[in-house]
A and B are shown apart, each in its own frame.
Chain A
Amino acid sequence: MPTRPDETDPSVPPEAGAPTGAPAALEAREVVKSFGGVHALRGADLLVRPGEVHALMGENGAGKSTLIKLLTGVYRPDDGVIALHGTERAFRTPLEAQAAGISTIYQEVNLVPMMSVARNLFLGREPRRRGLVDVRAMNRMSGEILERYGVRVDVTAPVHTLGLGARQMVALARAVRLDAKVVIMDEPTSSLEPREVQTLFGVIRTLREQGASVVFVSHRLDELYEICDRVTVLRDGRTVHTGAMAELPRTELVALMLGRALLAAHDGRVTAFAPDKAQRQAAPDDEALGELLPAARRKWGRGKDRDRQAGGPGGPGGPALSISGLTDRHRLRGVSLDVEPGEVVGLGGLLGAGRSETAQAVIGARPATGAVKVGGKEIRRRSPQAAVRAGIAMLAEDRKADGVIPGLSVRENIVLAALPRLSRAGIVSTARQDRIVEFFMTRLRIKASSPAQLVQDLSGGNQQKVLLARWMCLNPRVLLLDEPTRGIDVGAKAEVQTIIDQLAAEGIGVLLISSELDELIEGSDRVVVLHTGSVAARLDGDEVTAPNLMRALAGEGSDSGAEAGLEAGSEAGLEFLEPPQTAEEGAS
């Protein structure tokens, strides 16, 4: 249950932690770190007091993970100071940080899969008897330790047989045993059940009582408000807020992370998206593309044919994309949504809500039950190949691992998926290939020295455009975009947003996954918000406002798993969130 700002947990003293005279357990002062020209941190501060549970928050790209890596010795700061117990330290390796008493638990559990639980727990520090590892003692002690964590498993079984929650506990137990003075937990509860979360909190409280500090990184606001004493919020590489957890209302917290000024009317637009659907324009050279891809044209029409379907629900064949009851083993719990041709549906949710998983399940890269229909026709045995054939294209979130073929040229990357359509009898037609590549390089303004340049040498923004071009070559009906503007510079961002508008105007149904509130608000016609694997809210047209979205993201006004309509301003304590002027809303 959400903690109201005015309630405080009586068991926690108002300002946990030692009085300000004592040195901070862990401190980062004006830390700066860049990677090849991209500024990850531009002066971030963090002060963790002894015996305190400190929340570290911020959206992707805010610099959280970089800061943690600096604190744990994976990287070294370009500028700024890191201090442990008041002494300035410069850790050169993770091992040094660990030896100094900083222990880290990563989100992706860092265990050796086929090794037993007991061995993993004691890896590197096995109990010895007469020089050899004392397996019996190891097993016994492991059982005892895990019992304290509420985990009762066969400690001789390989760790991969455990559920992710139990694995997380094992990783936690291993890290905590290091007599750490500071324990950094990176999304430790992302895979835990509520009961396990409470066990974790018990461990954290014990640590706190012992004077150790915990840095808690998470997106689960409920938990943060339950266990953390103080909070630091990062945005764009800087610290934008530090203070007591209990004094920061949820929605203000979300607003700080996402950079929305609550009280100021935000009528200037932040993105390059067109103000509304009617103002979206197809690219002028759309007809030319049809000629370059004649086979595709025959399939489901382009240009004028599309216009007829664009913007209207239930054109011939039904919605461009229809998902119902998508459920998988771990994350998704019955996701359903529709995308009409020419519509941009935003898919929002905090980390771990299941957005990427939904997209992957749709194209068949992730096994899931449920139905996926394109134009009314169901895809029976889902696979990436079947998806492409049916007219679905997905731009993956991790372009480095799942998108780009690094050693190939721009040209090759663009035509990759469309190769069979550009070949006759298996032989690629260089003429057609070059024409298409030139077309897209111009239309998308891909900056490369030539089409032959290796794609790995391009900037992130241009790589993203190359991937977009790849999918556009297929002339798809549905386009799933997973964080299309992440990690690219401002200019490229705007260009990509314009392209998305153009694609929608041409009649493609777009599912836009984005962590940036502005993109969801300004780019989408409708927004579906996911929360722990199911749809938490559906916002339509005028309902797509910052306050409503933030509430949906924060998990308020809805129970997990249930859809909720949102009534503006109905919750106590949130009056200041009412939209300032109705006139402004009507105009948007």
Chain B
Amino acid sequence: MTAAVLEPVDGAGTRDRVLDLAQRYGVYAALVVLIAVATAMNSDFMSVSNWRVQLFQVAPTVLVALGMALVIGTEGVDLSVGATIALAASIIPLYIGYGPAPAIVLALLLGAAAGLVGGAMVAFAGVQPIVATLSLMIGLRGLAELMNGAAAKPVEDPSILDLGEHGIAGVPVMAWIALAATGAVAYTVRRTTFGRQLVAIGDNKRASLLAGLPVRRVLVTVYVLSGILAALAGVLIVGHGAEADPANQGLNMELSAITAVVVGGTPLSGGRVRVLGTVAGAMFMQLASAVLIQHNVPTSTTQIVEAVLICLAVYVSRERGTR
């Protein structure tokens, strides 16, 4: 009967406060500890060549995870990112004849289109994000393979290979791109109208609606951005591998992205986007598996460790109290 009058308030106990700190900064602490331990065990870990390898591997994941973080911030999820990578990959060989720039732009546009479809299903039709993006996940990869053929196609365009292989000042171009994207997304979330509205909508959709926020527009945009970032990651992957292989590229990328976002401290329930945390989360998962591999730990253990880490991260970021 009376809604807002009396709310049994849980006092924030010490345990809650510790968990809160763990959620915010845990991933950074874990990252630092991991690097320290890894270097202690193998001094080559901090070598430039090792770091280059790691950056090459993690950059695409960071891009996709950034988009995923935005989507999760609205209490949604985007399972189609892996398929979008495949789609972008398949487009490159088809249109490379017009030059690298048009091909890349087209790939990004396709990514945006994929996001537009998913976003429209969620925002306008009210389809659950998981199912809407699931349908895209299944369909787009098939579409990509149809366009490309089953076999991987080699890509030889120098500009695209540059993107995937070269470095500037010793750091891979991919990593610079990922860095720029991180900056852009962080700025968007913190300083733009769109970003603040996104966070508000994820936190309390009804209140945001009543406050006159353009909820549907924001939701669609978020999926479009995720699609573009995934497509960009696809282009980079193609450049790095010098081939377009929609059957295999981007496989399981959505899992890696979601893992990075969750480990990085962004809650699945929306309302909060930790951009730097997401990047740290991606780095942490990448380095963790690299360390395990370097020490000849079997992949099985790696996977189990990943699973445990995810559970830990989620446990820490669960909603506490009566909120």
Contacts and interface: CB of A to CB of B under 8 A. Distances in A.
Contact of A384 (B194, B203, B210, B271): B210
Nearest to A60: B2
B193 A365 contact: no
Contacts, number: 115
A384 B8 contact: no
A394 B2 CA distance: 19
A518 interface: no
Contacts of B212: 384-385, 387-389, 417
Given A387-B212, A427-B191, 5 more contacts: A61-B2, A66-B6, A402-B207, A403-B210, A405-B207
B197 interface: yes
A247 to B, nearest CB: 27
Contacts of B304: none
Given A412-B196, A419-B197, A426-B193, A487 B211 contact: no
A140 to B, nearest CB: 36
Interface string B265-301: 0000001100000000000000000000000000000
Query: Which of A186, A388, A399, A407 counts the most B-chain CB atoms under 10 A from its CB?
Result: A407
A35 interface: yes
Nearest to A33: B6
Contacts of A406: 203-204, 323
Interface string A377-392: 0000000110111000
A456 interface: yes
A149 to B, nearest CB: 24
Contacts of A36: 7-9, 11
Contacts of A187: 1
Contacts of B7: 35-36, 400
16 contacts: A35-B6, A35-B7, A61-B5, A385-B214, A388-B212, A396-B207, A397-B3, A401-B206, A401-B207, A403-B210, A407-B272, A408-B271, A419-B197, A426-B192, A428-B191, A428-B196
Contacts of B4: 397-401, 460, 486-487
A444 B98 CA distance: 62
A410 B210 CA distance: 18
Contacts of A416: 196, 200, 208, 211, 213
A390 to B, nearest CB: 10
A426 B217 CA distance: 14
A453 to B, nearest CB: 13
Interface in B173-215: 191-194, 196-197, 199-200, 203-204, 206-214
Nearest to A396: B210
A401 B1 CA distance: 14
Contact of B194 (A351, A426, A486, A487): A426
A405 B203 CA distance: 6
A9 to B, nearest CB: 28
A400 B2 CA distance: 11
Interface in B91-131: none
A493 interface: no
Interface size class on chain B is 20 to 34
Interface string B1-23: 11111111101000000000000
B171 to A, nearest CB: 28
Contacts of A423: 192-193
Nearest to B187: A427
Nearest to A515: B2
Give the most central of A35, A186, A351, A419: most B CB within 10 Å. Answer: A419
A420 interface: yes
A402 B210 contact: yes
Contacts of A40: 6
Contacts of B5: 38, 60-61, 486-487
Given A404-B204, A419-B197, A60 B1 contact: yes
Contacts of A398: 3-4
Nearest to A460: B4
Interface string A334-367: 0000000000000000010000000000010100
A396 B11 CA distance: 26
A403 B1 contact: no
A107 interface: yes
The 10 closest A-B pairs by CB, nearest first: A388-B212, A36-B9, A487-B5, A398-B3, A417-B211, A65-B1, A423-B193, A419-B193, A35-B8, A35-B6
Nearest to B270: A407
A289 B185 CA distance: 33
A96 B279 CA distance: 50
Contacts of B193: 419-420, 423, 426-428
B318 to A, nearest CB: 14
A174 interface: no
Interface in B221-257: none
Nearest to B5: A487
Interface string A399-439: 11111111110001000110110010011101000000000
Contacts of A399: 4
Interface in A300-338: none
